[in-house]
Chain A
């Protein structure tokens, strides 16, 4: 008998009588004021939020807030005149020295400040994690109140990899002192378009 059969056999024998799944369709969030709520939550986590009208505004803010002498890369077609375009067919390691990555997010979640992105928006899976600073652009109308609405949108998903990203990377492992910037980006900005 293989290990697989042994384990499955024991599970089948030992599992208790079936109990039903609960109905979770009643869990919903409040749609009113999501943009403001998102901004408040994300800023309380240590991220920055910019409400912008167009890509020109995004461009300006980037030039003001980031060192454009360093390597800045983006998946946004609207910004590839000014900044390097991220390409999918090179080794991920070549992006080690990215200072700032600017990418789209599918949508954002007001209750926890998280942005949802999948590999099709990242350019390469490593991009949102390896850059020193991360900037994500989301549409204001895409912001949802809670994770319940989020998973309605995500559904089964056609991605190979997807993730929620809820702010700059952090750790409090040393005496519970919060440090922004663990292994992922040191800062995160969200542009709400």
Chain B
């Protein structure tokens, strides 16, 4: 079997869990956010009805996406926003570059956009002499550390404050050893304020795009999207096709669910509705495919497009909490990432649907009721069918299928296994047995159930 180019989730997670204290801390931090989500959701008696409504609205969206895209485009144009379409990540990046080049702009400020992270926008622009600064504090920290975000809402949740302090000391000249979050934030505030003041172009993501009115909503806690946008000459918004919602009033449902699911807040501090350019300003919106139409065409997985990117599934997932987002080698990590990524590159991300216990907690917290755990299971079947399962798994499955194919085979295998466990335990208790890595093997039973039953049936009372 050839060596994979990127390490798979199991290998990356194994590295992550070496530092047990850090894993416990990471686990606790994310569970704390899950707990806040629970408090917030329990404060809304109609929470489950809201989830159901959101789920149905998004099902209507993906089943009528063609019409909504046309409606949205027409309304954007009426509002004076220039509309672009990008099929691939490269096309998206080319469009952004062209917009900036046309105005001779070589510096841009960006607020959080996972889509542009997917597209590798920053690297593309840097290679062509355009500087991009991520203004979201967590993304800024990841940027100066040259590391991708590990969580879609909390980009540096895996970093300790001392590590962040060290980065600020190196890049912003703060004193060595300073790790107080408030003081570090104040330094970043000052530095990024200067960035906002001097950048002629700002790029944002899109949380919700309203087809009915041709406007889009951007949700932040920091105010960085607005600081960039309202000081810019050119404002660009990048959105995935699936971010559409049909009508303005649906925002009531989604904005009630989003922040409560993500962080336990009743709403993000800023929910900004961008509709028309400012006097003297240009506004652009780029509609991006990047594999979404392909996912749309997969009946088992199209519901993954309902995702509103809240991150609740990541916060609750026991595997994510203990392995960290960077173990998923994909921009979108965690449970939702594991059902989106194989569509983008089945070979590269074949391991992700297996990085799960199928406990179903993700589906339980998803505000739009995506059946994540079922899709994880279905992806496993797809991946094995396409021949992308790891050879150990494939062999293991074949061996199990052979063993279970007849009662005689099972009985023979069982007898042999019990004999070895009693008489030559090291055959089983060794490095080749994954179970044995962290656990002791149980004592083998003295006899199989069949053997016991046959013996005792003779003694049973008439």
Contact = CB atoms under 8 A, between A and B. Distances in A.
A77 interface: no
Contacts of B138: 171, 173
Contact of B275 (A92, A114, A162, A184): A162
Contacts of B186: 181
Interface in A105-128: 109, 111-114, 124-126, 128
A151 B184 CA distance: 38
B189 A183 contact: yes
Interface stretch (A5-13, A52-60, A135-143): A5-13
Contact of B227 (A113, A148, A155, A184): A184
Interface stretch (A19-27, A68-76, A78-86): A19-27
Contacts of A12: 66
A49 interface: no
Nearest to B162: A175
Contacts, number: 249
A169 B269 CA distance: 6
Contact of B273 (A24, A161, A170, A179): A161
A21 to B, nearest CB: 5
B252 A146 contact: yes
A143 to B, nearest CB: 15
B93 interface: no
Contacts of B251: 147, 151
Contacts of A166: 265-271
Given A19-B63, A93-B197, A179-B182, A169 B222 contact: yes
A164 B226 CA distance: 12
A113 B270 CA distance: 11
B255 A92 contact: no
Contacts of B181: 174-175, 177, 179
Most chain A beta carbons < 10 A, residue from B160, B252, B263, B287: B252
A7 B255 contact: no
Interface stretch (B83-91, B333-341, B372-380, B418-426): B83-91
A92 B251 CA distance: 29
Interface stretch (B96-104, B296-304, B323-331, B444-452): B296-304
Contacts of B230: 92, 124-126, 129-130, 161
Contacts of A8: 66, 69-70
Contact of A156 (B64, B248, B289, B302): B248
B155 A16 contact: no
Most chain B beta carbons < 10 A, residue from A2, A45, A151: A151
B275 A182 contact: no
Interface residues of A, number: 73
Contact of A22 (B57, B213, B248, B296): B57
B293 A11 contact: yes
Most chain B beta carbons < 10 A, residue from A11, A92, A147, A163: A11
Contacts of B205: none
Contacts of B46: 27
A112 B31 CA distance: 23
Contacts of B160: 175
A92 B70 contact: no
A65 interface: no
Interface string B202-242: 00000000001101000001111011011100000000010
A64 interface: no
A7 B287 contact: yes
Nearest to A110: B266
A125 B278 contact: yes
Contacts of A111: 256, 266
A164 B271 contact: yes
A3 B94 CA distance: 13
B221 A21 contact: no
Contact of A177 (B57, B87, B161, B268): B161
Contacts of B246: 21
Contacts of A32: none
Given A4-B85, A8-B69, A170-B269, A183 B223 contact: yes
Given A161-B273, A183-B193, A184-B226, A176 B85 contact: no
Contacts of A113: 266-267
A129 B226 contact: yes
Contact of B276 (A7, A114, A124, A161): A161
A171 B221 contact: yes
Contacts of B85: 2-4, 7
Nearest to A167: B269
Contact of B161 (A159, A170, A174): A174
Given A129-B227, A169-B223, A176-B29, A6 B65 contact: no
A184 B296 contact: no
Contact of A159 (B192, B197, B275): B275
B275 A174 contact: no
A36 interface: no
27 contacts: A3-B91, A19-B56, A22-B56, A24-B249, A112-B266, A125-B229, A129-B223, A151-B248, A151-B249, A160-B277, A163-B270, A163-B271, A165-B269, A169-B269, A172-B263, A173-B136, A173-B137, A173-B141, A173-B155, A174-B156, A174-B185, A175-B160, A177-B161, A182-B189, A182-B223, A183-B224, A183-B227
Given A162-B275, A171-B137, 19 more contacts: A7-B293, A15-B296, A16-B63, A19-B63, A22-B53, A26-B49, A27-B50, A113-B267, A124-B230, A126-B230, A147-B256, A156-B213, A160-B277, A164-B255, A173-B154, A181-B185, A182-B189, A183-B192, A184-B269
Which 5 A/B pairs are nearest by Cβ-Cβ distance? A184-B223, A14-B297, A112-B266, A182-B222, A160-B276
Interface of B: 29, 32-33, 46, 49-50, 52-53, 56-57, 59-60, 62-66, 69-70, 85-87, 91, 135-138, 141, 154-157, 159-161, 164, 181-182, 184-186, 189, 192-193, 196-197, 212-213, 215, 221-224, 226-227, 229-231, 241, 246, 248-253, 255-256, 263, 265-278, 287, 289, 293-294, 296-297, 299, 302
